[in-house]
Amino acid sequence: MRLSPLHTQIAADIRAAIRTGRLDIGDPIPSEAQLAQQWQVSRAPVRQALATLRAEGLIGGGPGKPAVVRGRSLGQPFETFLSFSSWVSGLGLVPGQRTVEIARRRADATIADHLGIEPGDAVVEVLRLRTVDGEPAMVERSCFVDAVGRALFDFDCDSGSIYAFLITRGADLSSARHTIDAVVADPTDAALLGIDPGRPLLRERRLAGPAGGPPSEYSDDRYRPDLVTFTIDNAAASAPALSRHAVPELI
Amino acid sequence: MRLSPLHTQIAADIRAAIRTGRLDIGDPIPSEAQLAQQWQVSRAPVRQALATLRAEGLIGGGPGKPAVVRGRSLGQPFETFLSFSSWVSGLGLVPGQRTVEIARRRADATIADHLGIEPGDAVVEVLRLRTVDGEPAMVERSCFVDAVGRALFDFDCDSGSIYAFLITRGADLSSARHTIDAVVADPTDAALLGIDPGRPLLRERRLAGPAGGPPSEYSDDRYRPDLVTFTIDNAAASAPALSRHAVPELI
DNA sequence: CAGTGGTCTAGACCACACC
DNA sequence: GTGTGGTCTAGACCACTGG
């Protein structure tokens, strides 16, 4: 008769306490032993709930010390990293996009694994060229699970931010993991970006979706490294801040 | 007598198996029950190890199905960007280094500009090959202002972390700015890393020094993207202000 | 059906922080 | 000291996947 796992309920309860202010920032949360007694459960589900909240950045704390409420927001920071459009606009430049292809097709094994669906399930893929002041800067290959992506067939992908549109349609893309590496430009990349095949590109792969849930989007974005770089400011013992930079020549 | 927790050892062992190809991409890893029996432990530490690998993106898979190897490259989170040695050690792998050159020379215009000194001022340059379990992974070109770098002539750069040594000598390298892009391997990179010239490399340039003060180090580190990637998780990131600069200060 | 991972119980010992 | 979280044992039941 249990609708959801205990650790999920416990985590949700603490999240609610933080959001409503019943637990304020800086407050210590009840000890694991206390929570276990309140819920009449063992420590295991309590610990799993706290591990989730820790991964979400909501609570902090170390060994020997009680866990402490660290923050209240769940999605807004780093939002600039989620949307190319808003990032470029924020620099006072003009973002643009040319949609090369939008298609519904069946997921291959790689995509299915990343999105946590079955190979053969329907996905919506969008291939777009993103520009800054009209200059090609990035090739975006986004792949959405069908439930989220099908709304894109009602949307003019040349008109602006896909993210902004999908959010108005109720999609939750508040959480993401970005993996950054380098690849060579394939013929498609080269043609779209106006560079020679074989040139190095800065690649950002992104898994986005609701916090704690299965991802709704897998994306492979390839930037011209002479136009866009990523920077991190890192002070020891404090959280790093990440941003995306355009190189000066462009500004 | 336990040097590190069991789950850490188990995770390190599986990471090593993946890195060396003993487990290939797409392969299923042994079941939790098998691992528990191999290690003669209960399921709890095994599960914790797998949870860590899952968070690192190394393995995937769902309920009812065995976990599957998803990738081979080690994802370096931005939080640990301060030291290659400590990052690799923390994964249970063995960091190594081979010093190709250490020299005191006069700063050229580019270096001087980055470090905020005059062209012609003395700097100490170190060129090192960094390895993971003996495998070449990164080429490091570090350049220190003389006041900080001269201590390195008292140091065996093959013996370990330059950062750890300089800090014992009183250097303050607590704050850094990292700029990430992609470049092609030059002949030196290619020879050291054992790859073909022209392959793409993931580059991290770093300005490090005391918080708020002038930088003491400028470094150009080039990673093999098949072995090392960078990751950032904004699943509810902590709140600090995300700096957005209209004009980059580094580059 | 047997095997898998997901969840949970009810204990236990430890290192560490604080008083 | 006492209390905290970190780790671990040795069981158990469940939902799901696959043959």
- Confidence tier at A80 by pLDDT (50, 70, 90): low
| pLDDT at site A3 | 66
Residues of each domain in chain A carrying CATH 1.10.10.10: 6-69
**For residue A121, what pLDDT is reported?**
87
Give the distance from residue B241's alpha carbon to the nearest chain A alpha carbon, in angstroms: 7
Q: What's the mean per-residue pLDDT of chain B?
A: 87
CB proximity B3 to A under 8 Å: no
Return the higher-pLDDT residue of B164 and B14: B14
Among B166, B181, B205, B206, most A C-beta atoms within 10 A, so best to mutate, is B181
- In the predicted model, what is the mean pLDDT of chain A? 85
- Whether the pLDDT of residue A2 is over 60: the answer is no
Share of chain B above pLDDT 70, in %: 92
Residue nearest to nucleotide D17 (CA to C1'): B64
Cα B68 from chain centroid?
25
Which has more confidence, A118 or A152? A152
Q: Decide if A113 touches B, using CB distance below 8 A.
A: yes
Q: State the burial class of residue A134 (Cβ atoms within 10 Å of its Cβ: 0-12, 13-18, 19+).
A: exposed
**What does DSSP assign to residue B48?**
H
* B60 pLDDT higher than 90: no
Shortest CB distance from B251 goes to which of A70, A116, A229?
A: A229
Segment B160-187, tens digit of pLDDT: 889 889 988 888 888 888 889 999 999 9
Evaluate if residue B210 carries a pLDDT over 60. Answer: yes
- Model confidence pLDDT, tens digit, residues A152-197: 998 988 888 898 899 888 888 878 888 999 999 999 999 999 999 9
Domain A6-69 CATH assignment equals 3.30.230.10: no
Q: In the complex, which nucleotide's C1' lies nearest to the CA atom of residue A63?
A: D5
Q: What is the pLDDT averaged over residues B216-220?
A: 95
Q: How confident is the model at residue B246 (pLDDT cuts 50, 70, 90)?
A: very low
pLDDT higher than threshold 60 for residue B248: no
**pTM score, two decimals?**
0.85
Range B74-231 has CATH code 3.40.1410.10: yes
Kindly list the residues from chain B whose CB atom is less than 8 angstroms away from the CB atom of residue A82: 234
- Which CATH superfamily groups domain A79-250? Chorismate lyase-like (3.40.1410.10)
**pLDDT digit string (tens) for B72-116?**
888 888 767 778 998 898 888 899 999 999 999 999 998 999 999
Q: Which of A48, A135, A151 is nearest to A94 (CA)?
A: A135
**In whole angstroms, what is the distance from residue A181 CA to residue A202 CA?**
6
Joined tokens for residue B182: 């992609």
From B50's Cα to the closest Cα of chain A, the distance in A is: 14
* Mean pLDDT, residues A42-53: 94
Q: Which pLDDT score, from 0 to 100, does residue A25 have?
A: 85
Q: Given a cut of 60, is residue B1 above it in pLDDT?
A: no
Nearest to B235 among A56, A182, A200 (CB): A56
Query: What residues 22-51 of chain B have any CB closer than 8 A to a CB of chain A?
Result: 26
Decide if pLDDT at B237 tops 70. Answer: no
B47 touches strand C (CB under 7 A): yes
The minimum CA-CA distance between A99 and chain B, rounded to whole Å, is: 25
**Which of B60, B175, B238 comes nearest A71 by C-beta?**
B238
% of chain A exceeding 90 in pLDDT: 41
Instruction: Tell me the shortest Cα–Cα distance from A162 to chain B, in angstroms.
Output: 19
Considering only CB atoms, B179 lies closest to which of A77, A203, A229, namely A229
For residue A81, count CB atoms less than 10 angstroms from its CB and return exposed for 0-12, middle for 13-18, buried for 19 or more: buried
Residues 79-108 of B with CB under 8 A from A: 79, 81-82
Q: Residue A43's pLDDT is what?
A: 94
The token duo for B24 is 């290939």
Q: Is A240 close to B211, i.e. CB distance below 8 A?
A: no
Q: What pLDDT is recorded for position B247?
A: 27
Q: Where in chain A is the domain with CATH 3.40.1410.10?
A: 79-250
| Cβ neighbours of B29 in A, within 8 Å | none
Per CB-CB distance under 8 Å, the chain B contacts of A78 are 232, 234, 237, 242
Chain A contact for B199 (CB, 8 A cutoff):
yes
CB A245 within 8 A of CB B201: no
Mean pLDDT score, A93-118: 89
What are the residue ranges of CATH 3.40.1410.10 in chain B? 74-231
Report the pLDDT value the prediction gives residue B235, as an integer from 0 to 100.
Answer: 56
Neighbouring C-beta atoms of residue A164, cutoff 10 Å: 11
